[in-house]
Structure 1
Amino acid sequence: MRAILTAADAAIRWLCIAALAVAAVFIAFMAVIGTADVIGTSAFSTPVPSALELSEVALVIVVFTGLAAAQMKGSHITVDILSNRFTGWVKRLSDAAARLAAMAFFGTIAWFGAQEALHSWSINEMATGATPIPIYPGKTLLALGCAVATLEALRQLLHILTGTRP
């Protein structure tokens, strides 16, 4: 049983890092598109076609694929005025409740995001602009990013419940 949990732990950590890598690629993509659009508009009076739509889809991907890594590192904003004073089982209970809430939050977004992504794929949804830009990859990565964040919150919850270090 411990071997299965260790393997799952490593796999979920790998998924978080892979999702973060996707976010990094799309941050770079947004920087290139933005730079090209500014230079094209300023120097040549020709903006990048559909730069806004490309950036909108990329921003969704960056935000939602970065959630799992933020969860893994404990980088989400927390209000810990009271919980910093907790010790022992009360601290563990508070931490477990926070992970359950994160699982519910991310899981709900993943579930409804997946439904939206499937619908978007089925109708070949596009953003209207100078050049049609597909929206379904962004919706798909939104759902996948939240699913990975849900798994990371579950991984952390299991560590809290078993008293092991993540």
Structure 2
Amino acid sequence: MGFLNYLGRTTDRLNALGAIVAGAGLAAMMLIGAFDVLGSSLLGKPVPGAYELTETIMVGSVFLALALAQSQGSHIRVDAIVKTMSARPRHVSETVAHFCSVLFYLGICVFGWDGFLQSIDEAAVYQGLIGLPVWPGRLALAVGASMVVVQAARDGLRSASRCWR
């Protein structure tokens, strides 16, 4: 049980770190947008690459926060049917839902890592005012999807263990 507790604490810390980075990304997007608007309006000079920067940061912010949302059960779901179920069927349905999430995010994870490696190999950059590399956004997507796969699997195992209590 010691290893599972260690794994759980590590996962919780990584989820919190991902959410902190996501929050910093939201703040950065806000500042970039504000400076872009002010620069365009007052000086006639927008922030070069503001669109590309915001797009990359947004991907990171969304995917790095997903694992924490998964761990807290904060994703949107319809509880109308689940609330009418007794304990065992409810745990079974939660287990199935968590493992469906694992499969869904695993697909994103695989394609995310493939896209990241491909963008590194090709030295891909966004076509815009500045040559912003594509790989940071794809790395954030792949890391975030990997984190949510681990968290959903952890939640699924926890739900599965409740099915037989």
TM-score range, shorter chain: over 0.9
2:34 maps to 35
Is 1:94 equivalent to 2:93 in the alignment? yes
Q: Output aligned runs, 1:1-166, within 5 Å.
A: 2-163=1-162
Q: Which amino acid aligns with 1:53?
A: E
The range that moved more, 153-162 or 111-120, is: 153-162
Is 1:12–1:155's contact at 8 Å kept on the other side of the alignment? no
CA distance in structure 2 between the partners assigned to 1:162 and 1:8 by the alignment: 17
TM-score with structure 1 setting the length = 0.94
**How far off its partner does 1:88 sit?**
2.2
CA distance in structure 2 between the partners assigned to 1:155 and 1:138 by the alignment: 26
Q: CA RMSD in A?
A: 1.3
Q: Which amino acid aligns with 1:34?
A: G
User: What's the secondary structure of 1:134's corresponding residue?
Assistant: coil
Q: Equivalent pairs: percent with the same residue? A: 31
1:98-150, Cα deviation, whole Å (9 max, x unpaired) = 11011111111011110011001111110011111111110011011011011
User: What's the secondary structure of 1:64's corresponding residue?
Assistant: helix
**How far off its partner does 1:21 sit?**
1.3
CA distance in structure 2 between the partners assigned to 1:112 and 1:51 by the alignment: 26
User: What's the secondary structure of 1:127's corresponding residue?
Assistant: coil
Q: Which amino acid aligns with 2:20?
A: A
The gaps in structure 1 that reach 5 residues or longer are none
CA distance in structure 1 between the partners assigned to 2:160 and 2:55 by the alignment: 39
TM-score with structure 2 setting the length = 0.94
The gaps in structure 2 that reach 5 residues or longer are none
CA distance in structure 2 between the partners assigned to 1:137 and 1:15 by the alignment: 18
Q: How many residues align?
A: 163
